[in-house]
Amino acid sequence: MRAAGVTEFGGPEALHIVDVDPEPLGPGQVRLRVQAAAVSPTDTHARSGAYAERDPVKTPPWVPGMDVAGVVTELGEGVDHLAVGDLAMGIVVPFGPYGAYREDKVLSANSVVRAPAGTTAVEASTLPMNGLTARLSLDLMGLRPGQVLAVTGAAGAYGGYVVQLAKADGLTVIADASEADEELVRGLGADVVVRRGDDVADRIRQHVPEGVDGLADGSVQDELVLPAVRDGGAVATVRGYRGNGQRNLRFFPTLVRKVAEDRAALDRLRQQVEDGVLTLRVARTFPAEQAADAHRMLEAGGVRGRLVLIF
């Protein structure tokens, strides 16, 4: 079985095609013939060995990847929401050789739903991880319709989904963007767009002097952007940041692994794509053999939409 993985942790050049054993199928599981696996910053960290200490598998190869889409080829006992032949998408919690960058993947059925109608495997693969992360951030903050949410990194995959989901939830959204990305972020639905940068908190306060009710910090600015939030406001972070203990801000580190088997949430995202609430954005595709090039491009920055490996 072919996969794109590493036998030694390192830079993008460490990624190459490796042989992995097929995964057995058990009750309540789904087997996919993988057609597409999206590339994320989490994958680049895994490739470099950032998560090696917590990986229960201590011998190579290690296969990254959290987003997958492909055709259902086999169903375990008790799975009735999918059929063999369906185009499906799923979220992967990777460890050892069991990440998404492999041509055959077995997942809990609760981590897999049908791909949105009318989408390709490549398009569908861009939704699960970022979409669920965005949804979880909003759920954790618990803002009410009419309240104001700030989003940093709004042109990115996570930030873009936060903007669109927040608007669907009835929130007012103020988002950051570079001049080149301003039209994109407005198109996603942001009510106010401010210029990105180290002074983004001041720019947000110019529009919301009392401070925003919540912040989804997709650009990982951490302490730098906290002044944008009112005292007692909510902050969702994506790299485990828990705040500086000031002004009674409430912090919600968003760990998508906690909702990796929330099938209802994933299926709701599917429906929102079909309803036109969410936009799937593909920047570029690469054959799996060129996974190293995809990682180089992602780490160089400036990618808008997702890079996707094709099997």
Instruction: Assess if CATH 1.10.8.60 describes domain 2-127+280-310.
Output: no
pLDDT of residue 244: 87
Rounded CA separation 238/235 (Å) = 10
The CATH code of the domain at 130-256 is: 3.40.50.720
**Domain boundaries along the sequence of the chain:** 2-127+280-310, 130-256
Burial environment of residue 285 by CB neighbours within 10 A (0 to 12, 13 to 18, 19 or more): middle
**Alpha helices, H only, the chain:** 41-48, 121-124, 128-141, 157-168, 182-188, 200-207, 263-274, 291-300
- The one-letter amino acid at 106: V
DSSP secondary structure string for all residues of 5-28: EBSS--SGGG-EEEE-PPPPP-TT
Q: How many helices (H) and strands (E) does the chain have?
A: 8, 15
What are the distances in angstroms from CA 294 to CA 4, 104, 129?
12, 20, 18
What 3-state class would DSSP assign to 140? Answer: helix
β-partners of residue 72 are 32
pLDDT tens string, the chain, 311 residues long: the values are 999 999 999 999 999 999 999 999 999 999 999 999 999 999 999 999 999 999 999 999 999 999 999 999 999 999 999 999 999 999 999 999 999 999 999 999 999 999 999 999 999 999 999 999 999 999 999 999 999 999 999 999 999 999 999 999 999 999 999 999 999 999 999 999 999 999 999 999 999 999 999 999 999 999 999 999 999 999 999 988 999 899 999 999 999 999 999 999 999 999 999 999 999 999 999 999 999 999 999 999 999 999 999 99
